[in-house]
Structure 1
């Protein structure tokens, strides 16, 4: 199997199941800082189920309606704190594409293979900009306030346009998340806020990604490295905080993709099934 160019420690980059329908039997609630949004928000539970996810939940908060899919494991009864994973889809999963279109991506469905006792949410956003970033923050805070969540183990990922969105999220509320996975995307968010919070980030993309290219991630990686060096961190410390994984052409062909096929689409299909990538996100 081909191995990508995986950089950590700031090396220089080379040029080249069944749903738990009683979702709101929450038990103990999350942090007090998130409690306000729970009292302000109006939740409407959906009725459609897809592979263990209630597809069409909605939350009215701040004059907006947030649409999302939610999986609460059958064993959850509120007595023990569960972890939380928020997975933001790309353009094909936005709300205008149709209810449940976010679940064409496999990221939400593989999460419980790594951590069984984890609630998984997949928002259907309106775009990949600031309003959607605000919506992700609002949804995360509502989930923290509504369910018994281990607030120290909240994971975030974004694929393609969703990666742009989570970069904005991490540029405003990185304190909500333990780790973040940024796939086939580019970084739009505030790196000063991210590096002040020292939230670990893994960026994965194809060498010849046909939508973004790999150069934006390389540049972001170097900026993050430089910021951490200015803070006095060692390369060993930095390697725990940022990883750049640029997959070569052979990665895609070795995984059954045709030579010359879209690496952007290929990354979206292959990365959720790459245990090195997903294992990093959920490793602690």
Structure 2
């Protein structure tokens, strides 16, 4: 009997426009769930419409992830999380609660609200991408988050190369967005969805399974 090939799982949390009260399917305007299909045709993609940007939606996203892992043939070494804008805030809370559930986390055009101590213990890889002059958040929040997490890893004794494997800060200049037709650098964060360097980093991560 042939054993079915397991599927990777990608959970992408949308920003303001994707909240439930914006209407059914409003979350699908972002490019992340669509572009993700190009990286793995054996992947289940979930783009839930959130209730808020806080604990409620964070807990719901965790439960959704656990449900799919429990009820579908999921490759637990390839479970990915992404959050855009407010969805990134939600994603960061998830990383402060259950980072071990995910292989890697991509946060775009957002700020960090989660517990960095919990994340640092799990060492789940994180990629932080934002515009230098993000019109909603600025880039200072994520720069500060990067430094705090970097310092926690140094305290653990990790080397520079080891930290680079699990922590990336990617701050893009104005020109990156204007060249792609975005006048607003916050909504321009959607450009990261078509960036092979960014998305390739996320889906290139594979969790080492412990026996």
TM-score range (shorter-chain normalised) is over 0.9
| CA shift for structure 1 position 210 | 0.5
Q: How does 1:1-284 map to 2 (within 5 A)?
A: 79-257=4-182, 261-268=183-190, 270-284=191-205
- In the TM superposition, structure 1's runs of 4+ consecutive aligned residues that sit over 4 Å from their partners are none
Q: Normalising by the residue count of structure 1, what TM-score does the alignment of the two structures yield?
A: 0.70
Higher helix share: 2
Task: Specify which structure has the higher proportion of strand.
Answer: 1
Which of these two proteins has the greater Rg computed from alpha carbons?
1
Instruction: Give the Cα–Cα distance (whole angstroms) in 1 for the partners of residues 48 and 184 of structure 2.
Output: 25
Q: CA deviation at 1:250?
A: 1.3
> Unaligned stretches of 5+ in structure 1?
1-77
State how far apart, in whole Å, the 2-side matches of 1:221 and 1:160 are.
Answer: 17
Secondary structure at the counterpart of residue 48 of structure 2: strand
Report the count of equivalent residues: 204
Distance 2:94 2:169 in 1: 19
SS at match of 2:27: helix
User: Shift of the alpha carbon at 1:255?
Assistant: 2.1
Point out where structure 2 has 5 or more consecutive residues left out of the alignment: 206-211
**Counterparts of 1:153 and 1:139, CA distance in 2:** 16
Q: 1:133-187, CA deviations, whole angstroms, 9 ceiling, x for partnerless residues?
A: 0000000000111110011110000000000001000100011100110000000
